[in-house]
Amino acid sequence: MKLGRRKFLGLGSAALVGLSLKSERKIAGSFVNDSFQIGHLLRDRASFPAAKRVEKVPVVIVGGGIAGLSAAWRLRKRGFTDFVLLEMNTQPGGNARWGENEITAYPWAAHYVPVPGPKAVYVRELFEDLGVLKNGQWEERYLAFSPQERLFLYGRWQEGIEPAVGLTPKDRDQFRRLENLFSEFRKTGSFTVPLELGLSSKFQDLDRISFSEWLRQQGFDSRLLNWYMNYACRDDYGALASDTSAWAGIHYFSSREPEEKGPLTWPEGNGWITRRLLERIGANVRTSQMVHRITQTRRGASVFAGDTEFQSEFVIFAAPTFLAPYLLEKFPRLHDFVYSPWLTANLTLDRYPESRGAEPSWDTVFLDSPTLGYVDAMHQSLRTYIDRTVWTCTRAKPPASPRKRLGLLERSHSPRPRTRPLRHPPVRLPHRHHAHGPRHDPPRCRLDFLRRASPPHSSEQPNPLRQL
Ligand SMILES: Cc1cc2nc3c(=O)[nH]c(=O)nc-3n(C[C@H](O)[C@H](O)[C@H](O)COP(=O)(O)OP(=O)(O)OC[C@H]3O[C@@H](n4cnc5c(N)ncnc54)[C@H](O)[C@@H]3O)c2cc1C
């Protein structure tokens, strides 16, 4: 998409309720899932009414994203059911929320899981329970069907995201050399998921320079190679390669299995996992319950949400880390924790656009586009005839400076009158359009990623968040 995020957010209600080019019919649409109004009450440290009721419950989970839901799943799986999960939104799932219309279910953000390697034992246990992994084999229908990815470059489509058209011998040589380097890093066993398993001081220096600087030092100056590395950082970390630590950039490639069959994906993306988890632990989930304070008590902690004080022995904090100083008394300020705003737009198409070159695929990317492209919700459908679909488009916009970022947070999310029509070069406009955002996830992997990856807590004060 050629549209800047600010311009996009500045589109008029006319635009979102009825987008149209001169010759096209109107496109209905709106901003959805806008929970920022209540979220900003925390940011503005608004005062909340005193609790009218007390509930005693041994364990409280704060946040119903994939982290909170999977913690709940694990508790129940171990036979422990005496807990509540408090989620501020009406729909649980966080970034793994999903939507649905008459055509298909579709994701609101997270849309795939790289096939977990042998060391990711907990994720494998979860997928065994959900029927995704059976007797050591991944269920075929959940592995992204071919063709998985395509890239739009030089006016045509090619299969795969790694640029393969118009490469000079120098480009080819650099792609090959970099692949070999990633393979060497992989063999060291230091770049793993989960991250903690492989961590070694041997590579810590890589965390002190940026990925782009490391690429430059290694003599990688191919424009196409640098575009691809930058795309990977924007896609995974919401940051440019110049803002991503070399350690994190290398981890992206070297932690994945070289011959990975996946990724695992579903029409509603990771919303499928959320749905299956809710089937198992839904009885413990309370929605529209924003936690506004957590205090330490003699027995454990008190968690305040709505008009209730939940008196608990343990709290599992599964809300985004940046909220901890707002909810927990005396929690150290997070000085250098940076989040990138994301925008997700779901476009409902009344028919597939024509395309030349590589066939339509699950994931579509555009060379040199500020967007991250889109995924097709109908790609995994087993229907024999498919004429309509929903595309999930994402854009991560790393703000240039903390001041500008603060400006974004201050900015109204309300649409303003549109001055220019929406354009998307290779496709016709969709007939319905829903935008979701901006979001503030995930934390950007800037320099010193490894230190930032563990949330701080002061050693002088006891941490009210104990580990189960
Ligand atoms: C656009 C986008 C695309 C992504 N794509 C992928 C992908 O394809 N694959 C992948 O693996 N990862 C992806 N990610 C990353 C992934 O979504 C996150 O790593 C993951 O969602 C983190 O889960 P979480 O539960 O920690 O946080 P979240 O998903 O942010 O969930 C936190 C939950 O806490 C709730 N909450 C917040 N404050 C409170 C409060 N005060 N009281 C009660 N509840 C509260 C929120 O409403 C939310 O439901 C993507 C992220 C984004 C933004």
pLDDT of residue 399: 57
* Beta bridge partner(s), residue 365: 151
Residue 280 falls inside a structural domain:
yes
Domain with 278 in it: 39-98+270-337+458-467
> Running DSSP on this structure, what letter comes out for residue 48?
-
Cα–Cα distance, 32 to 27 (Å, whole number): 16
> Running DSSP on this structure, what letter comes out for residue 210?
B
| Shared domain check, 250 and 218 | yes
Residue 6 falls inside a structural domain:
no
pLDDT of residue 259: 77
Residue 184 falls inside a structural domain:
yes
Residue 142 falls inside a structural domain:
no
Residue 5 falls inside a structural domain:
no
Distances (CA, A) of 193 to 121, 252, 443: 10, 10, 17
| Shared domain check, 243 and 286 | no
- Give residue 251 CA to ligand 1 midpoint distance, Å: 21
> Running DSSP on this structure, what letter comes out for residue 179?
H
Among 220, 254, 288, the domain-final residue is 254
| Shared domain check, 169 and 226 | yes
- Give residue 217 CA to ligand 1 midpoint distance, Å: 35
Return the percent helix, strand and coil in the chain, to nearest 5.
30, 25, 45
> Running DSSP on this structure, what letter comes out for residue 244?
S
Cα–Cα distance, 68 to 285 (Å, whole number): 10
> Running DSSP on this structure, what letter comes out for residue 314?
E
Number of domains in the chain: 2
52 within 8 A of 307, measured Cβ to Cβ: yes
Mutation test residue for ligand 1: of 95, 111, 266, 310, the one with most atoms within 8 Å of CB: 95
| Shared domain check, 462 and 329 | yes
| Shared domain check, 245 and 170 | yes
- Give residue 59 CA to ligand 1 midpoint distance, Å: 21
Residue ranges lining ligand 1, Cβ < 6 Å: 62-68, 86-89, 94-96, 109-113, 270, 290-291, 318-320, 323, 342, 344, 394, 439, 441-442
- pTM recorded for the entire structure: 0.86
| Shared domain check, 246 and 274 | no
Residue 158 falls inside a structural domain:
no
Residue 264 falls inside a structural domain:
no
Cα–Cα distance, 410 to 422 (Å, whole number): 25
Residue reference for tokens 């994945």:
256
Q: Closest Cα to atom 20, ligand 1: which residue?
A: 95
Among 254, 288, 308, the domain-final residue is 254
CA 33 distance to own-chain centroid: 15
Q: Amino acid identity of 91?
A: Q
Can you read off the two tokens belonging to residue 411? 């900015």
| Shared domain check, 211 and 73 | no
| Shared domain check, 232 and 169 | yes
Cis check for the bond before 58: say yes or no (omega within 30 of 0).
Answer: no
**CATH no. for residue 333?**
3.50.50.60
Side-chain-side CA neighbours of residue 323 (13 Å) = 21
**CATH no. for residue 173?**
1.10.405
Cα–Cα distance, 430 to 360 (Å, whole number): 16
CA 100 distance to own-chain centroid: 19
Minimum-distance ligand 1 atom for the alpha carbon of 86: 43
Helix or strand or coil: residue 294?
A: strand
Among 193, 220, 254, the domain-final residue is 254
| Shared domain check, 188 and 325 | no
Q: Closest Cα to atom 21, ligand 1: which residue?
A: 95
Residue 398 falls inside a structural domain:
no
Residue-by-residue DSSP string for 24-62: SPPBEEEE---THHHHHHHHTT---PPP-EEEE-SEEEE
| Shared domain check, 248 and 275 | no
| Shared domain check, 277 and 310 | yes
Tens of pLDDT, residue by residue, the chain (468 residues): 333 333 333 333 333 444 455 556 677 888 876 677 788 888 888 899 999 999 999 999 999 999 999 999 999 999 999 999 999 999 999 999 999 999 999 999 999 999 998 889 999 999 999 999 999 999 999 999 999 999 999 988 999 999 999 999 999 999 999 999 999 999 999 999 999 899 889 999 999 999 999 999 999 999 999 999 999 999 999 899 999 999 999 999 999 887 778 899 999 999 999 999 999 999 999 999 999 999 999 999 999 999 999 999 999 999 998 899 999 988 887 776 777 888 899 999 999 888 777 889 999 999 999 999 999 999 999 888 899 999 999 988 765 566 666 665 555 544 444 433 333 333 333 334 444 443 434 444 455 556 555 544 444 444 444 433
| Shared domain check, 214 and 276 | no
